[in-house]
Amino acid sequence: MSKKKPSYYNHNGFLMPMGFPIEGFTSALNYQAQPSDIFLVTYPKCGTTWTQYILWLMQHQGEPLSASEKLETYIPHLEEVGKETIENLPQPRVIKTHFPYELTPYHPEAKYIYVARNPFDCVVSFYHHTRGFIKHYNFADGTFDDFFECFISGEVDFGDYFDHLLSWYEHKNDENILFLTYEAMKNNIKMIIIKIANFLGGDYLNCIKNEHTLNKIIINSSLENMKKEQQRWSSNRPENMPSFVRKGEVGDWKNYFSSEQQQRLIDKFMIRTAGTDLKPLWFF
């Protein structure tokens, strides 16, 4: 049986994608959060781009990004671009990060939106992501089984799924943190957009008071629409790889997991989340 592992940069035990400039990690850690900053925080593959586009649409009265533009120009990924690029953005800024709580630049007046996704669908999505970005990971011929082993042992970029989730979950009731789930977004995106608007206030709240604008935000950020415009969200993938906006479903993991893998991830989930109320969010 093959045991292929993706390639990563290792920053004192914290793994990062090789496609990111190596200096981005330290630079990101040194970014000084500003009171007006809005951080969009996720573990990879948990609904970042969807939420990122919703935030952008909320800033633009629901009007779509023009075909030649890239979302990351306006809402960049801190660890990828480094702090100077972020500092050059006008304020207020919206900043994407995959850092766990303790590494994320903090300001008590900044706002943090955290989106969590169940680990089963996350690992499947992460597997496709990792094999698709060939220059980042050198894992084009890696199997799901190979990747599952890396994921369950926490040896993937941006660290262990459970460390990440728990680091933010502990703060879910902090005033400046909004804790969301991908599954709740799938279930009722309108309600989630209203939650985001209430959390952020100001222009974000004003824009959704207009029902027409709210509907435009929902339609333009729909899976169907985001699937059509892949180049806006991500660099192109080779023909034989799944696209970045892939299935966008809850439960795709059932097409990938063996019953043994299912049991191992359930066991891990139970151990790592014992004493929290995370279980009812997802089980299954």
Binding interface with ligand A3P (CB under 6 A): 42, 44-50, 121, 125, 128, 221-223, 226, 245-248, 252
Residues facing 96 on adjacent strands: 40, 77
For ligand A3P, which is the closer residue by CB, 6 or 47?
A: 47
For ligand A3P, which is the closer residue by CB, 164 or 246?
A: 246
Cα 162 to chain centroid, rounded: 14
Nearest distance, CB of residue 98 and ligand A3P, angstroms: 8
Nearest distance, CB of residue 228 and ligand A3P, angstroms: 11
DSSP 3-state of 270: helix
Residues counted in the chain: 284
Long-range Cβ contacts of 226-234 (<8 Å, 24+ apart): 226/49, 226/50, 226/53, 229/65, 229/67, 231/70, 232/65, 232/67, 232/69, 232/70, 232/71, 233/49, 233/53, 233/70, 233/71, 234/49
For ligand A3P, which is the closer residue by CB, 50 or 137?
A: 50
Residues contacting residue 65 through CB under 8 Å, at least 6 positions apart: 53, 56, 71, 229, 232
Nearest distance, CB of residue 32 and ligand A3P, angstroms: 25
Report helix, strand and coil shares of the chain as percent, to nearest 5: 50, 10, 40
Residues contacting residue 188 through CB under 8 Å, at least 6 positions apart: none
Quick one: DSSP state of residue 173? T
For ligand A3P, which is the closer residue by CB, 45 or 164?
A: 45
Quick one: DSSP state of residue 231? H
Given 77, 98, 128, 164, the catalytic residue: 98
Nearest distance, CB of residue 226 and ligand A3P, angstroms: 4
Nearest distance, CB of residue 275 and ligand A3P, angstroms: 27
CB of 156 closer than 8 Å to CB of 15:
yes
For ligand A3P, which is the closer residue by CB, 22 or 219?
A: 219
Query: Which single residue is written with the structure tokens 């790592």?
Result: 272
Nearest distance, CB of residue 2 and ligand A3P, angstroms: 23
Q: Which two tokens stand for residue 132?
A: 């698709």
For ligand A3P, which is the closer residue by CB, 45 or 216?
A: 45
For the question of residue 171 being annotated catalytic, the response is no
- Active-site positions read 98
